[in-house]
Structure 1
Amino acid sequence: MKRWALALILPLLPLMAKADEGMWLPQLLKTLNEADMQARGMKMSADDIYSVNHSSLKDAVVSFGGFCTGELISPEGLILTNHHCGYGQIQSHSSVENDLLTNGFWAMSKEEELPNPGLFVTFIVRIEDVTKEVLKGATPEMTEDERQELVAENSDAIIQKTTAGTHYGAKIKSMFYGNEYYMFVTETYDDVRLVGAPPSAIGKFGGDTDNWMWPRHTGDFSMFRVYSAPDGSPAAYAKENVPLKPKHFLPINLTGVEDGDFTMVFGFPGRTQEYLTTYSIKPLVETTNPNRIKIRETKLNILKSDMNKDDKVRIQYSAKYARVANYYKKWIGENRGLKVTNAIAEKEALETKFQQWADANPARKAHYGTLLSKFEQTHKEEQDVILPYNYIREAAYGTEILSLAARFRGLIDAPASEREKRVDALKAYAKKYFKDYNAPTDEKVFAALMRLYAEDISANYQPEILQAMNKKYKANFENYAAHFFGKSILDDQQKVEALLNDFNEKSMKTLLKDPAIKLEREFRDIYIGKVGDVMRNTQNALERLNRSYTAGLREMLPNKTFYPDANSTMRVSYGVVDGSTPYDGMRYTSHTYLDGVFQKEMAGADDYVITDRMRELYADKNYGRYAENGKLPVCFTASNHTTGGNSGSPVIDGEGRLIGLNFDRSWESTMSDIKYDKDICRNIAVDIRYVLWVVDVYAGASHLVDEMTLVETKTPAAEEATAE
């Protein structure tokens, strides 16, 4: 009777991979996805997307700096990525006198392209399943620490064997919480030069007002070029280097896209957690996210105020502000989305069915029967420390002075034989750090965040210094901050450089007495002694439980196609151009146009700035060859499953041609890191025609467009569909 009832229940379960959901490993597309992708409009084969035997789309897609995605769009190494991905580099070349952030930048020759020390791009050479080799010797009786140590040893041996005698790198990544392991063999190029960026009025149009929102009118792109040694191999920056000749670059489709057209996003999504249980989601929604939002909002208000008052501070803090604001707003949208779609109730229903399935068979009950109760117990064990854990990360180390103090810890704790090397590293870091540092701003942030820590965290997790200062200054944290910064040397570039330039035993004593060093060490001691071990133990336990849970789900639903959570490895997602219906009575269309830029200006927000050049071109309707029915396309949405790290990813049509550049999700979609909803979740892309219009018509950098391969005719299939 139980089996009969279960047979009725299982078809009603939420699918693990709904339509348009999924971040798929490219080497598995042939087996898992090719037929579905072709049924939805893809004209290519899986081999055209990923191959180790010939050039394929994977050879045109790079990890940009390890935090974004980029794509090759010319045979001369030209790379396209987001404006916000290149923002740090653009800022590094900016000053009050030469403000590239505000004015934009275009290299009119290769000689004018700007080097970016520390920036790199990484290609994927091949991907291999190494699960058996990685887990060789693993047993169920091992503790999680023992298992991880074995996995690390086996992985190191595999990587060493793979890369020995080559210039390639490799990394092995866990999938499904350690049920599977894949090796990614890589090739990294370190000479990446800035070629072009629109002014912020285009690249950041809408700013924080529009971040994570739709409709969108942002030209979020920038251009770089990757250089190689003359023989094509990776090389550090050198004048004799030459533009890379890529194995593949993306041709560009100028015919545009319509609702229902196939789209594919290829990139390096950062992190998703699609298989979390409700025991993890509830504290995230109820405690972690609200407190992280509170801390970041406090910090953002201070940064924004100071940036508005001083152009130098604005340039110094533009990239920092954007980083803090990005996830601040994301967490707000994530909480809203999870609540609106009843994600917790849906997950609870799945867990109920899982428990019924486990209990229906003695062997399964022995293996999975107590799994969910163990999740519950493990989360109870971390309940007391989760708040101080997040406050130490967001509030304590959300201040720049304590973050700098943490870097000095490495020098203080180093043996004498290592000190010279640590001093040299700090000298280099300090030079870059103080270029974008304003002590009065940091002092205000410090006062505000220490107040939050003192008010919201129990005394058991508060540094003694903080408690003493709170009492001494009668909770006046502005006075405490003034005293703190007045006594510390870590807010003063000249004092820090003087100390490092003649570092000796007296210098060490100076550091040990510095209030920033002392307070940071107390925060660190609390983390290690009271928080860190509990978090590490519970996270290890959850890793093991999640490994069993995902294995159980796959066993329970053998006909469903599962995908591993994103973990900054190369993935493919696919869907169609489409609008969305996030709320009752609301329908978003899928495209925006330049007209909307001027309509938004009427709202009067500071984030809606339009340049004089844009006004002239709009008035003349000078759209070059990039218009559609007399209108200039700007952005579009599609149902591709994306997350952080997909910024800069190419949006590709069914023929393998570039149609847009992924840069965001709608606010309602931010929950897709935990739960994807086919009616709500949409990625946002800047239309490639808007990108080319800005480069060609607006900026006059037509030589860059001349490098590209532009396709201006529809395929026969598309023409037939249009005729019908």
Structure 2
Amino acid sequence: MKKLIICFLLATFIMPLHANEGMWFLMHIERLNYRDMQKMGLQLTPEEIYSINNSSLKDAIVQFNRGCTAEIISDSGLVLTNHHCGYSKIAELSTSENDYLTDGYWAKNNQEELKPKSLSVRFFVRMDDVSKRILGQVNDSMTEAEREAAINREIAKIEKENNEGGKYTVSVKSFYQGNEFYYFVYQDYNDVRLVGTPPASIGKFGGDTDNWEWPRHTGDFSLFRVYADKDGNPAEYSTDNVPLKPKHHLTTNIKGFEEDDFAMIMGYPGRTNRWMPAGGIEQNVEYAYPAWVEASKTSMDVMKEYMDKDQQVNLDYASSYASIANYWKNRQGMIDALKQHKTAKTKRKGEKAFKRWASKKGNEKYADVISVINNYYKNTNEISRHNNYLSLLLRTKVATLPYRLGKTIDFYLQQNEAKQAELKPELDAQINDLYEGLHLPLEKDVLAAQLKLYSTKAENIAPMVAKVAKANNKSEAGWNDYVNTAFENSIFETKEKLEAFLENPDAEVFKNDPLFQLSTDLLNRYRAKTEEEKQLDDDFERAYRMMVQGMRLQNPDEKYYPDANSTLRLTYGKVIALPADERNDADKNYYTTLKGTVAKYQPGDDEFDMPKELIKLYEEKDFGQYADEDGYLPVNFLTDNDITGGNSGSPVLNGKGELIGLAFDGNIEAMAGDVIFDDQLQRTINVDIRYVLFLIDKFAGATHIIDELTLSK
């Protein structure tokens, strides 16, 4: 995308609201947003969006696998989400002989739908404000530890009161840095099965090159189904289970839309930090994110080498690699965007205004807040760099596996023979789970590369790592030798060696195992805090909470929304175009077409290959009922909705609440959006629902799936 030349208009540290800004609670829509939404094109009532007593849109929106969003699109529990949200489960179900990730999969009936080992969807039941109740348990004289303990005691009571004897999952969450609290009631369904997915050459078309970029041409979707017992209640997997009859499912609109049409998105955004002070932004840009980027690339380079050589290894590590690659590009985009737009400088202006307000009579309790926050960041910059290098090292499976198994094994070794026999099946299951899909040569090389990077780039590193680094002079060859020797002498090298050890266990051998010692050293260092660091954390938590409290008092007439934290939110805006781009063949640069997809085609390329059947459909213009009235087949489109990670798979809805698309990405220019909103830059990239249905119908021939849907033409 051509870089946009704009004025960065945000002038204060608070969140000045634009029409398209905000991730709003559903229970507050009527009071805070309804009139604005009506003016922009909403035709629903607030009750039709969120109702406790009647079915409403919220009953069709689910959290998918705890990290994405999905929607119910039929009265038989059919679930639509992103391909990249289902990626790990599709890979899990794949083998080199039946490679559904590469080739796609379409179940012809319910019996052919495939059950991953573990996959759930979470339905939102209701929410309520418990701020007064919880904050009534604390006072300003408490330490942070005392405050947290009092809050947790009350949270436990609220969760027990509302779970109806275990029927529901109840979660109490903090908002505005601990100034408000709400509880959320959910119902979880754990029998979720794969219905259909396009091949990766469609679902992941463009790969890392196009990730976070526009124009896009990606069919980023997959289909699953929720199963329940015969009464519609959650149940563990059973062949007796039946497709769920949901309270509400979305109508799917194939008529299309125009520029400036109303668009709203409902979903589970993961995390934003829009109250983050200037010092936090500077810390991320200069210390934390560069470490993350470098460490991510280190793992990716090693993994890719092995994945390219062996298709089964590629399947086993596809999800891990995709996750690392996604955040690698995200963090670099964040660095670039935050620097380019001088976000820290903008925040600093707001902090100065806040300090002036805090110096006035009656506001003295907030006078030192900014100074305390700045002192925290000054003293934790190097810590943040260290922790990011170490975090990526700990994403290496064999760096944590010995520790994760260690506590279970230690407990096992302390038991008598009868108790060991009782515990053995559970231990065996845990071992099988952790070793499944583990490719030892890859793991060893990633671990050696990450240890070398960590030992040379971070300060105050884990003691054992420091000792080994000194002995081998931090050289690549030295780390390779160390890792190879550690594996050769470890009971954790392979599942077979560990099982053999457990047949004749020796506590001393376990205690002195080199991989267990390394794993323990790394995790102990990750969790270690000096007394000074603990005090810094406490002072910072209190100051940050007071800063947010004070800034809301400073500007009491503003409409505020809380930072994202994986709770259900609604964002609204419009279908919106960018300036013309020669790389996009569309008449207006708010959508892309199948013509543009074919133009990117590169035979045999990992990122831009295409199925021949799709090219044939394009050449024959066999688009069925899914073509736009102007004759082209739409692929992706843009809106200005306010989303972040976790919104992947969220439905894009028109003013009638009908499904018009599926959110799957943002644009690289707006990477600062997690800490500060810019209405001129913020864009959401969506799959047009007509492209999704075209692929299901004309490409896959899965017309029985189309027959399930409620279509609006």
Q: In which range does the TM-score fall when normalised by the shorter chain?
A: over 0.9
Q: Cα offset for 1:166?
A: 5.4
Structure 1 alignment gaps of length 5 or more: 1-9, 713-724
Q: Cα offset for 1:146?
A: 0.9
Letter in 1 for 2:366: Y
Q: Cα offset for 1:467?
A: 2.5
**Residue deviations 1:84-109 (CA, integer Å, cap 9, x gap):** 11111111111111101111011100
* Structure 1 range deviating more: 489-498 or 627-636: 489-498
CA distance in structure 1 between the aligned counterparts of 2:425 and 2:16, rounded to whole angstroms:
51
User: Alpha carbons of 1:465 and 1:268: their partners in 2 closer, same or farther (altered >3 Å)?
Assistant: closer
Give the structure 2 partner of residue 481 of structure 1.
Answer: 483
Give the structure 2 partner of residue 440 of structure 1.
Answer: 441
Which secondary structure state, in structure 2, belongs to the residue aligned with residue 196 of structure 1? Answer: strand
Contact residue 581 and residue 679 of structure 1 kept, 8 A: no
User: Alpha carbons of 1:11 and 1:558: their partners in 2 closer, same or farther (altered >3 Å)?
Assistant: farther
* Structure 1 range deviating more: 350-359 or 239-248: 350-359
Match of 1:579 among 577, 600, 605: 577
CA distance in structure 1 between the aligned counterparts of 2:88 and 2:62, rounded to whole angstroms:
18
**Residue deviations 1:589-639 (CA, integer Å, cap 9, x gap):** 211111111111259853001111112111111111101122111111111
Give the structure 1 partner of residue 348 of structure 2.
Answer: 348
Contact residue 217 and residue 634 of structure 1 kept, 8 A: yes
User: Alpha carbons of 1:514 and 1:286: their partners in 2 closer, same or farther (altered >3 Å)?
Assistant: same
The alignment covers a number of residue pairs equal to 694
CA distance in structure 2 between the aligned counterparts of 1:488 and 1:555, rounded to whole angstroms:
59
User: Alpha carbons of 1:237 and 1:91: their partners in 2 closer, same or farther (altered >3 Å)?
Assistant: same
Give the structure 2 partner of residue 557 of structure 1.
Answer: 555
User: Alpha carbons of 1:329 and 1:426: their partners in 2 closer, same or farther (altered >3 Å)?
Assistant: farther
Give the structure 2 partner of residue 616 of structure 1.
Answer: 616
Q: Cα offset for 1:165?
A: 3.1
User: Alpha carbons of 1:464 and 1:431: their partners in 2 closer, same or farther (altered >3 Å)?
Assistant: closer
Give the structure 1 partner of residue 29 of structure 2.
Answer: 29
Letter in 2 for 1:646: N
User: Alpha carbons of 1:261 and 1:482: their partners in 2 closer, same or farther (altered >3 Å)?
Assistant: same
Give the structure 2 partner of residue 722 of structure 1.
Answer: none
Structure 2 alignment gaps of length 5 or more: 1-9
User: Alpha carbons of 1:250 and 1:345: their partners in 2 closer, same or farther (altered >3 Å)?
Assistant: same
Q: Say what the alpha-carbon RMSD is for the aligned residues.
A: 2.3
CA distance in structure 2 between the aligned counterparts of 1:661 and 1:622, rounded to whole angstroms:
23
User: Alpha carbons of 1:49 and 1:534: their partners in 2 closer, same or farther (altered >3 Å)?
Assistant: farther
Give the structure 1 partner of residue 677 of structure 2.
Answer: 676
CA distance in structure 1 between the aligned counterparts of 2:692 and 2:365, rounded to whole angstroms:
54
User: Alpha carbons of 1:197 and 1:394: their partners in 2 closer, same or farther (altered >3 Å)?
Assistant: same
Give the structure 2 partner of residue 307 of structure 1.
Answer: 307
User: Alpha carbons of 1:326 and 1:474: their partners in 2 closer, same or farther (altered >3 Å)?
Assistant: closer
CA distance in structure 2 between the aligned counterparts of 1:150 and 1:709, rounded to whole angstroms:
49
Give the structure 2 partner of residue 599 of structure 1.
Answer: 599
The answer to whether structure 1 residue 239 and structure 2 residue 239 are counterparts is: yes
Q: Cα offset for 1:114?
A: 1.0
Give the structure 1 partner of residue 69 of structure 2.
Answer: 69
- Within-5 A mapping of 1:197-212: 197-212=197-212
Contact residue 123 and residue 187 of structure 2 kept, 8 A: yes
**Residue deviations 1:468-490 (CA, integer Å, cap 9, x gap):** 35524772222222222222232
Which secondary structure state, in structure 2, belongs to the residue aligned with residue 178 of structure 1? Answer: coil
Match of 2:401 among 401, 404, 425: 404
Q: Cα offset for 1:370?
A: 1.1
Q: Cα offset for 1:164?
A: 3.5
User: Alpha carbons of 1:17 and 1:537: their partners in 2 closer, same or farther (altered >3 Å)?
Assistant: farther
CA distance in structure 1 between the aligned counterparts of 2:514 and 2:567, rounded to whole angstroms:
41
Give the structure 1 partner of residue 510 of structure 2.
Answer: 511
Letter in 2 for 1:464: M
Give the structure 1 partner of residue 498 of structure 2.
Answer: 496
- Within-5 A mapping of 1:92-131: 92-131=92-131
Which secondary structure state, in structure 1, belongs to the residue aligned with residue 161 of structure 2? Answer: helix
* Structure 1 range deviating more: 571-580 or 386-395: 386-395
User: Alpha carbons of 1:307 and 1:544: their partners in 2 closer, same or farther (altered >3 Å)?
Assistant: same
Contact residue 131 and residue 181 of structure 2 kept, 8 A: yes
What is the TM-score of this pair, normalised by structure 1?
A: 0.92
Contact residue 14 and residue 551 of structure 2 kept, 8 A: no
- Within-5 A mapping of 1:199-278: 199-278=199-278
Contact residue 287 and residue 382 of structure 2 kept, 8 A: no
Letter in 2 for 1:635: N
User: Alpha carbons of 1:409 and 1:613: their partners in 2 closer, same or farther (altered >3 Å)?
Assistant: same
Match of 1:381 among 379, 390, 393: 379
- Within-5 A mapping of 1:55-204: 55-165=55-165, 167-204=167-204
Q: Cα offset for 1:18?
A: 2.5
Q: Cα offset for 1:536?
A: 5.2
Letter in 1 for 2:362: A
CA distance in structure 1 between the aligned counterparts of 2:440 and 2:334, rounded to whole angstroms:
33
Contact residue 19 and residue 36 of structure 2 kept, 8 A: no
Give the structure 1 partner of residue 698 of structure 2.
Answer: 697
User: Alpha carbons of 1:532 and 1:13: their partners in 2 closer, same or farther (altered >3 Å)?
Assistant: closer
Contact residue 11 and residue 350 of structure 2 kept, 8 A: no
Contact residue 41 and residue 262 of structure 2 kept, 8 A: yes
User: Alpha carbons of 1:561 and 1:631: their partners in 2 closer, same or farther (altered >3 Å)?
Assistant: same
Q: Cα offset for 1:425?
A: 4.2
**Residue deviations 1:662-714 (CA, integer Å, cap 9, x gap):** 111111222211111111111111010010011111001110111111111xx
Letter in 1 for 2:395: G
CA distance in structure 2 between the aligned counterparts of 1:184 and 1:200, rounded to whole angstroms:
36
Give the structure 2 partner of residue 526 of structure 1.
Answer: 525
What is the TM-score of this pair, normalised by structure 2?
A: 0.93
Q: Cα offset for 1:154?
A: 0.3
Letter in 2 for 1:542: F
Contact residue 274 and residue 674 of structure 2 kept, 8 A: yes
Contact residue 268 and residue 566 of structure 2 kept, 8 A: yes
Q: Cα offset for 1:45?
A: 1.6
The answer to whether structure 1 residue 414 and structure 2 residue 411 are counterparts is: yes
CA distance in structure 1 between the aligned counterparts of 2:535 and 2:247, rounded to whole angstroms:
45
CA distance in structure 2 between the aligned counterparts of 1:333 and 1:39, rounded to whole angstroms:
34
CA distance in structure 2 between the aligned counterparts of 1:66 and 1:350, rounded to whole angstroms:
35
Give the structure 2 partner of residue 392 of structure 1.
Answer: 390
**Residue deviations 1:146-167 (CA, integer Å, cap 9, x gap):** 1111111101111111224351
CA distance in structure 2 between the aligned counterparts of 1:314 and 1:542, rounded to whole angstroms:
43
Give the structure 1 partner of residue 709 of structure 2.
Answer: 708
The answer to whether structure 1 residue 372 and structure 2 residue 374 are counterparts is: no
User: Alpha carbons of 1:466 and 1:345: their partners in 2 closer, same or farther (altered >3 Å)?
Assistant: closer
CA distance in structure 2 between the aligned counterparts of 1:202 and 1:89, rounded to whole angstroms:
17
Give the structure 1 partner of residue 456 of structure 2.
Answer: 455
Contact residue 227 and residue 242 of structure 2 kept, 8 A: yes
CA distance in structure 2 between the aligned counterparts of 1:497 and 1:654, rounded to whole angstroms:
59
Which secondary structure state, in structure 1, belongs to the residue aligned with residue 259 of structure 2? Answer: coil
The answer to whether structure 1 residue 685 and structure 2 residue 683 are counterparts is: no
Give the structure 1 partner of residue 5 of structure 2.
Answer: none
Letter in 2 for 1:231: D
Which secondary structure state, in structure 1, belongs to the residue aligned with residue 600 of structure 2? Answer: helix
Q: In percent, how many aligned pairs have the same letter?
A: 38
Q: Cα offset for 1:466?
A: 4.7
